[in-house]
Structure 1
Amino acid sequence: MKFEDKDFLWGAASSAAQIEGAYDIDGKSLTVADLIPYIKLKNKKDLSEIRSLGKEDFLDGLNPNSTKTYPKRLGNDFYNRYKEDIKLMKDAGMNIYRLSVSWARIFPNGDEEVPNEAGLAFYERVFKECRKQNMEIMVTLSHFDFPYPILEKYNGLLNRKVIEMFVKYAKTLIERFSKYVKYWLPFNELNICLMHTHIGLGFFSEKTNNHMDIIRKSFQGLHHLFIVQAEIIKFAKKYPDIKVGCMVSDMTTYSYDCNPINVLNNLKQEQIRKWFFFDVMVRGEYPRYSKRFFKENNIEFTIAEGDMELLKNNPIDFISFSYYQTHTTSVTENVGQSQGNLIDGGINPYLKQTEWGWQIDPVGLRYELNQLWDRYQLPLFISENGIGAIEKLDKNMTVEDDYRIEYYREHFLQINEAIKDGVNVFGYTMWTSIDLVSGSTSEFDKRYGIVYVDYDDYHNGTGDRFLKKSYHWFKEFMRTKELK
């Protein structure tokens, strides 16, 4: 089958915290990601030990004598090997690279008067290399790596001062790099912030058995996040060639059965976990269903004068989202739980799972693309999609990852079907091209790339890159656009 759209953008995505390394080079401060320790899982489908980490566990990372391993400080050495990695992407036929900038490299403490020139110079080298390879660039400004000094001194986005700091950071990058970067995303998977405040909103949550306590507190930070995004969009209007979108973690769920009680419950869950975020950023107002949710759960937050006008007048230009899996929901049945991208959900008996319990649902991607297009009529971009697996190089110095080829082929087929459905989806960046440190588990051995990197969970290895079978498959697909 031939892929329909000849102008479609194909590429890869990554985050600074998971690839760069060089955590203490050229003035960079520690980020919250740098404080996340590696924990060897006894059961890959049980992340409870990781999710139970508290403030004291993260702060142990400030101890120079800590014996723990911190993989995100080392990444895959992109800081020194970016030219090689970008060339590998280009040689595979990719024409866009979605990456993030580390705020801690530009304003290490968040509140400096002037930016760190060494950090700006590094990203300028990276962007120039991408443009040299004729690749478009999509930049995420904050990808789960708030500078630790902002958590320590300001308590993150709970503090309105951080709005000014983030907007200053964004303006600095747009002014400097608008000639290279066309697409901008202020925050990564911003709906994750209600569950994981330290990476999403820049403050540590107190341990509690009632997660609603955290959510109540988080909505103030989330409101400030929406204001940051609107301020960035307002500023970006000075640059007619750039577009500012959003990046939301797709949380598509299905009712476990056709019991109307479960169908209604599923609707309510999707409203709060997914549609709420899009509705605010597209329509510029808090949706009617959220008013009841706020009232019934005693959620109150301060809205300053002018905030709602700012949101209303500065909607996003396009929608991007990550898509890894779907779940089921039920209140009448005892449905087993399946893992996911920082969240869990009910098992779907019709779907296969990865080694980490992530349910694979290519058809769900077409379903979600249709839903988003029908609801918002904004251009769509799939900013993350991929499969992690334990892999070792074979005697031919490659990986026979047929499961990854099948995964991508089936998802590409469904994107093609969505385009035939009349959906305006203009691009896709896989997660990811080059093996990196896992965001959820901080493992290196949980490999997502179509290029193998010779590092293990403890950063043993040469760091050399080796092409997997999936790399050659993708390169051939890019040449022919045939989905074989």
Structure 2
Amino acid sequence: MSTFLKFPPNFLWGAAMSGPQSEGWLGKRHENIMDTWYRICRNDFYKGVGPDVASDFLHHFENDFRLMKEIGLNSFRTSIQWTRLIANLETGELDPNGIAFYQAMIRAAKANEIKLIFNLHHFDLPTDLLDRYAGWESRHVVDLFVKYAKTAFQLFKDEIHEWTTFNEPMVMIDGGYLYGYHYPHYKNEGKRAVQVLYHIVLANALVTQAYHQLDPEGKIGIIVNVTPAYPRSDRKEDQEAARFFDLFHWRSFLDASIHGHFPDELVEILRKDGVLWKAEAKDESLLSLNRSDFIGINYYHPTRVQATEGQIFEKWLPDQYYAHYDWPEKRVDPYKDWEIFPKALYDIAKEMTKRYPKTPWFVSETGMGVHDEGRFRNKDGVIEDLYRINFYKEHLFWLHKAIEEGASCFGFHTWAALDCWSWNNAYKNRYGFIEVDLNDQTRTIKKSGRWYRQVSLENGFEIEEDPFV
């Protein structure tokens, strides 16, 4: 027996990419920190492949939008590159070539009836601002980001009416300051990380308010990666470990973006530990006015935690409040070593309903990266990625269940529309509905792309009765 999972009217069936992971370098006035990392440490990147060409979206976007329409996308989230749009980072002077590209991209999306959501920052801080001002540790960089955002809003206000400020800001903090897996590779810098977190939240608030003043009818939000913490047991200590993980890693951004202030409990912990951020007297009132119109949730995997066992930390780190736990029953994506746990999407939806009941949200990313997908190519040259189809079916099943129970989710965006460059992973693991051949930049729709078209056209899909419970 089967059932058809029908999604709400006007549901967004889309995908996401970013400028620095798809466009290529050509024509940019400045390097971002990922460009710099590749230029100085190419061996850090899988097979030495970097963002210099990437998926060459800069030259292929018109055909790429036609392919997106062919696979049923009615929406697409990508990012403007600060380093492409702005010629002078201090004055905000525009680059005419950057303007021309983004305007042409907007026209191509419109011609294919694809709604665009523009994001302003996707891990691509201009390197000059890191070298000169210490990046997001600096209040001046907040001001420059606000200037850039206002310029972009004014430039595209007649065409783009859905914006997001940051994509996964916690990754910049984790990767750049706590664990060193992204440039500038700082490690164990907990106090600096907290200051960066604060300045990003402040920048988000100021940009959100600026947009509301410019376009009261438009919508703006933030994209937060949520890796919900599941405690090892019902023990109080394990429960508290999970609570702190959520407070620090994602509730910090969502509470500030929706309620206009940080979680009180988190502020008290950081104050007690002597690592609370430096702020100006006017900031509290600035933050209190912050109200995101919607939220994007990126979900890939959960986090399993337990109480720490008395480990001594020389410098403050969030890790002193939790330890990771290897759940023996987990199912793992062998290509990323990430746990596959689709039910977490249901749990996230219930948490959103509980904590932020008046704020609509959408799944802004989820996906499955697979290595050496050519193994699954059929005689017609098409990759039969049934694993990706099943991955999405499972997640959509739990999302649909949450929507049926009242979750205010308005869309589902996968990562990614096309295979794109994924930082130092490069193209090792592919995520797209559309294959990109890096030798000649040809595109081929995968089996999952054809499946997604049917899902979009029918606004749902058929499954066996409750197969994933």
Superposition TM-score, scaled by structure 1 size: 0.85
Q: Distance in 1 between matches of 2:293 and 2:172?
A: 22
Q: Distance in 1 between matches of 2:443 and 2:191?
A: 45
Q: Distance in 2 between matches of 1:174 and 1:367?
A: 34
Q: 1:266 aligns with which of 234, 242, 262?
A: 242
* Residue number in structure 2 paired with 1:336: none
Q: Letter of the 2:396 partner, please give it.
A: F
Q: 1:15 aligns with which of 13, 18, 36?
A: 18
Q: How does 1:131-280 map to 2 (within 5 A)?
A: 131-197=110-176, 207-208=186-187, 211=188, 214-237=189-212, 238-280=214-256
Q: Distance in 2 between matches of 1:90 and 1:406?
A: 22
**SS at structure 2 position matched to 1:73:** coil
* Residue number in structure 1 paired with 2:32: 31
- TM-superposed CA distance for 1:359, in Å, is 0.9
**SS at structure 2 position matched to 1:350:** coil
| Cα deviation code 1:318-366 (max 9, x no counterpart) | 1111000112111379xxxxxxxxxx95333333111211111111101
Q: Distance in 2 between matches of 1:364 and 1:82?
A: 34
Q: Distance in 2 between matches of 1:197 and 1:235?
A: 28
| Cα deviation code 1:80-125 (max 9, x no counterpart) | 0001111111111111100011100022552145111111111111
* Residue number in structure 2 paired with 1:300: 276
Q: Distance in 1 between matches of 2:386 and 2:247?
A: 36
- TM-superposed CA distance for 1:190, in Å, is 1.3
Which structure has more relative contact order (CA 8 Å, sep 6+)? It is 2
Q: 1:70 to 1:110 in 2, by over 3 A?
A: farther
Q: Distance in 2 between matches of 1:113 and 1:364?
A: 42
- TM-superposed CA distance for 1:28, in Å, is 2.8
- TM-superposed CA distance for 1:415, in Å, is 1.4
Q: Distance in 2 between matches of 1:243 and 1:395?
A: 46
Q: How does 1:457-472 map to 2 (within 5 A)?
A: 461-472=439-450
Q: Distance in 2 between matches of 1:123 and 1:438?
A: 22
Q: Distance in 1 between matches of 2:264 and 2:388?
A: 41
Q: Contact 1:20 / 1:77 at 8 angstroms: preserved in 2? A: yes
* Residue number in structure 2 paired with 1:127: 106
- TM-superposed CA distance for 1:416, in Å, is 0.9
**SS at structure 1 position matched to 2:328:** coil
Percent of pairs identical after alignment? 27
Q: Distance in 1 between matches of 2:329 and 2:108?
A: 44
Whether 1:477 aligns to 2:455 is yes
- Which stretch shows the higher mean deviation, 177-186 or 398-407? 177-186
Q: How does 1:46-445 map to 2 (within 5 A)?
A: 59=40, 69-108=48-87, 110-197=89-176, 207-208=186-187, 211=188, 214-237=189-212, 238-331=214-307, 345-355=324-334, 356-377=336-357, 378-390=359-371, 391-392=373-374, 393-439=377-423, 441-445=424-428
Q: Distance in 1 between matches of 2:298 and 2:94?
A: 30
- TM-superposed CA distance for 1:60, in Å, is 5.0
Q: Letter of the 1:309 partner, please give it.
A: S
Q: Contact 2:420 / 2:430 at 8 angstroms: preserved in 1? A: yes
- State how many pairs are aligned: 437
Q: 1:394 to 1:5 in 2, by over 3 A?
A: same
- Which stretch shows the higher mean deviation, 322-331 or 69-78? 69-78
| Cα deviation code 1:386-433 (max 9, x no counterpart) | 000020144321111111010011111111111101011011110011
Q: 5+ unaligned residues in a row in structure 2: which ranges?
A: 310-322, 464-469
- TM-superposed CA distance for 1:171, in Å, is 0.7
Q: Contact 1:14 / 1:99 at 8 angstroms: preserved in 2? A: yes
**SS at structure 1 position matched to 2:262:** coil
Q: 5+ unaligned residues in a row in structure 1: which ranges?
A: 38-57, 334-343, 456-460
**SS at structure 1 position matched to 2:200:** helix
Q: Contact 1:432 / 1:449 at 8 angstroms: preserved in 2? A: yes
Q: Distance in 2 between matches of 1:330 and 1:26?
A: 48
Q: Distance in 1 between matches of 2:178 and 2:161?
A: 26
- TM-superposed CA distance for 1:205, in Å, is 5.6
Q: Distance in 1 between matches of 2:325 and 2:99?
A: 44
RMSD: 2.5
